[in-house]
């Protein structure tokens, strides 16, 4: 018998313990960590909301302690602890499919699926992968490392289930044969990854097919606050109640059928009437226009609210987006309280950068000691050189796909902001944008990681090379990249570019030649 808490009847103890079907369980102050008792997602099923909240905090502390010592993706993982706990407490992974876009925020998921004791091996040779890996665990449904792919995977997985169910029904032909395995599908995608075009393509397809799936939009931006109050809760109920959802369509059609001139006037209003009714009925108008139900904004650090929203969304039997607000770096003050700058700085932690849950102090420099200056990195050399080129030639501009500091374009952004363009996680648009600039006589420099440029191969061929346009591709992170693994190896660019017409490939031997 599960131990569920409610707003009015919480199972959290006040020193007297929490009661389960097996007896009395000691309160948090008297027992070992809950995390030590979790061998897999099934162990979350009997926990109360209060216990799950405690578990999420223990997962967060485990990440701070471990990643602070060994290094790895940090801030995004601290923001998804409650979400991972809520998902695994409601769903039955791996029968139900949880798809983590990119996977750099899936450390809590790894911890809850039997890999807690191996977290210290992440990004190490022979250790856990830094992203999700289908070879590593049956709970990692898709391999990832590049952004914006989870919704597309989810549509394919759920439609595959539906297709095999139809095939199975036809093959059984009335016989008493077992139905094929089915499951619920949830894709978790961040507001950053939602800037990628393939995510929008998948949203359009799922809406058209009516694919019964859930997208959790994990929004850790600074400008969105949760909706509060009875009206917000009412809208969530209305959007996901099938009877009321169909009733809205009935109202739209019924008004036009009213007798006499009244109905005719409503019919002439046409689209304006429909949009007004829909806007009143559901604030998530963009999603609603694509035939998705919208829930939000939910507090992504409230386990009870998350679980309630997920249950309602999964029961809706249609495409649903659950929009949640989280804090990147939650529980680690320098990231949580440092604004956007703090979030960016602590996106990843370097080895031994955290001590006792706080940033490790810098080693003191002895008086009179000479500090050896580190040589500049290629990325920094490139950024400074591009600024000088922009100053020399007013036609030169720089383009990045959401990787300003990673490519060195943050230097251009600060020095000459009008010559700097960020298209979001949309490499295809970056190259099309560059082609359009080149057609107008501008000299665009598209600075993109080698591994991410793969995503824009068609645009390189069709829109740049075949048009003989003057576009410069500055590929960062060439070769093997070690810690980030095979999804990020820049090992293919020479091979896939060398076969193209009207292109010159150059690999500088040193910083001076790069300039």
Indicate which residues carry an active-site annotation.
Answer: 328, 427, 455
* Helix H or strand E encompassing 359: strand 358-359
What token pair was written down for 360? 């490790």
Cα 449 to Cα 402: distance, rounded to the nearest angstrom = 11
The strand pair at 354-355 and 358-359 is best described as antiparallel
Q: Please give the backbone phi and psi of residue 178, each rounded to the nearest 5 degrees, phi first.
A: -65, 145
H helices within 22-175, ranges in order?
Answer: 49-70, 75-78, 81-90, 107-110, 150-172
What token pair was written down for 202? 């998948």
The SS3 of residue 392 is helix
Hunting for tokens 């800037």 — which residue is that? 195
The SS3 of residue 421 is strand
Q: Measured at the alpha carbon of residue 307, what is the angle toward residues 236 and 10, in degrees to the nearest 5?
A: 110
Say which residues have a Cβ less than 8 Å from residue 261's Cβ, sequence separation at least 6.
Answer: none
Cα 130 to Cα 146: distance, rounded to the nearest angstrom = 12
Residue pair 294/288 in contact (Cβ under 8 Å)? The answer is yes
Residue pair 190/101 in contact (Cβ under 8 Å)? The answer is yes
Give the dihedral of Cα atoms 232, 236, 241, 245; nearest 10 deg: 80
Local structure of residue 490 (DSSP, 8 states)? B
The SS3 of residue 314 is helix
Residue 126 gets the label, from left (phi > 0), alpha (psi -120 to 50) or beta, of left
Say how many CA atoms lie within 13 Å of 355 toward its Cβ: 6
Q: Measured at the alpha carbon of residue 136, what is the angle toward residues 53 and 490, in degrees to the nearest 5?
A: 110
The reply to whether omega before 297 is within 30° of 0 (cis) is yes
Cα 469 to Cα 460: distance, rounded to the nearest angstrom = 10
Cα 336 to Cα 88: distance, rounded to the nearest angstrom = 25
What token pair was written down for 269? 């209003």
Closest CA to 245 of 309, 315, 305: 315
Residue 204 gets the label, from left (phi > 0), alpha (psi -120 to 50) or beta, of alpha
How many CB atoms are located within 10 Å of the residue 73 CB? 23
Q: Measured at the alpha carbon of residue 309, what is the angle toward residues 307 and 315, in degrees to the nearest 5?
A: 100
């Amino acid at each position: 018998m599960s131990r569920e808490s409610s707003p009015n009847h919480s199972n959290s103890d006040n020193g007297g313990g929490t009661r389960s079907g097996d007896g009395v369980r000691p309160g948090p102050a008297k027992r070992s960590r809950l995390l030590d008792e979790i061998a897999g997602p099934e162990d979350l099923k009997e926990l109360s909301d209060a216990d799950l909240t405690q578990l999420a905090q223990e997962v967060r502390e485990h990440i701070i302690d471990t990643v602070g010592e060994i290094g790895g993706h940090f801030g995004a993982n601290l923001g998804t602890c409650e979400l991972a706990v809520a998902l695994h407490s409601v769903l039955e992974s791996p029968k139900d499919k949880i798809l983590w876009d990119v996977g750099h925020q899936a450390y809590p998921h790894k911890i809850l699926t039997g890999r807690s004791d191996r977290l210290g091996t992440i990004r190490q040779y022979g250790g856990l992968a830094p992203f999700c890996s289908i070879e590593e665990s049956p709970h990692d449904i898709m391999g990832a490392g590049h952004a914006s792919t989870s919704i597309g995977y989810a549509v394919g997985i759920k439609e595959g289930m539906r297709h095999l169910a139809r095939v199975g029904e036809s093959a059984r032909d009335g016989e008493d044969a077992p139905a094929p395995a089915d499951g619920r599908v949830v894709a978790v995608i961040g507001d950053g990854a939602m800037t990628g075009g393939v995510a929008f393509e998948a949203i359009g397809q799922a809406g058209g097919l009516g694919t019964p799936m859930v997208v959790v939009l994990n929004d850790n931006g600074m400008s969105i606050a949760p909706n509060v109050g009875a009206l917000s809760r009412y809208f969530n109920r209305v959007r996901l109640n099938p009877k009321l959802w169909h009733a809205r369509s009935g109202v739209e059609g019924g008004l036009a059928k009213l007798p006499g001139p009244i109905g005719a006037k409503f019919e002439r209003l046409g689209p304006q009437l429909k949009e007004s009714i829909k806007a009143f009925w559901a604030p998530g108008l963009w999603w609603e226009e694509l035939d998705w139900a919208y829930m939000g904004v939910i507090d992504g650090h409230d386990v009870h609210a998350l679980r309630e929203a997920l249950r309602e969304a999964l029961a809706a039997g249609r495409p649903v987006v659950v929009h949640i607000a989280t804090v990147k770096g939650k529980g680690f003050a320098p990231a949580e309280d440092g604004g956007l700058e703090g979030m960016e700085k602590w996106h990843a932690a370097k080895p031994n950068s955290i001590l006792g849950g706080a940033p490790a102090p810098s080693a003191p420099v002895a008086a009179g000691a000479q500090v050896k200056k580190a040589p500049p990195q290629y990325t920094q050399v490139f950024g400074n050189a591009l600024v000088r080129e922009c100053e020399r030639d007013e036609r030169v501009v720089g383009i990045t796909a959401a990787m300003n500091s990673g490519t060195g374009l943050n230097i251009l952004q600060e020095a000459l902001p009008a010559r700097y363009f960020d298209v979001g996680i949309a490499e295809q648009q970056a190259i099309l944008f560059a082609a359009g600039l080149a057609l107008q006589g501008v000299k665009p420099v598209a600075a993109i990681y080698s591994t991410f440029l793969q995503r824009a191969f068609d645009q390189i061929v069709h829109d740049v090379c075949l048009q003989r346009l003057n576009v410069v591709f500055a590929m960062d992170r060439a070769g093997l990249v070690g810690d980030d693994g095979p999804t990020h190896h820049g090992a293919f660019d020479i091979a896939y570019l060398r076969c193209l017409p009207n292109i010159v490939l150059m690999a500088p031997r040193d910083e001076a030649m790069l300039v």
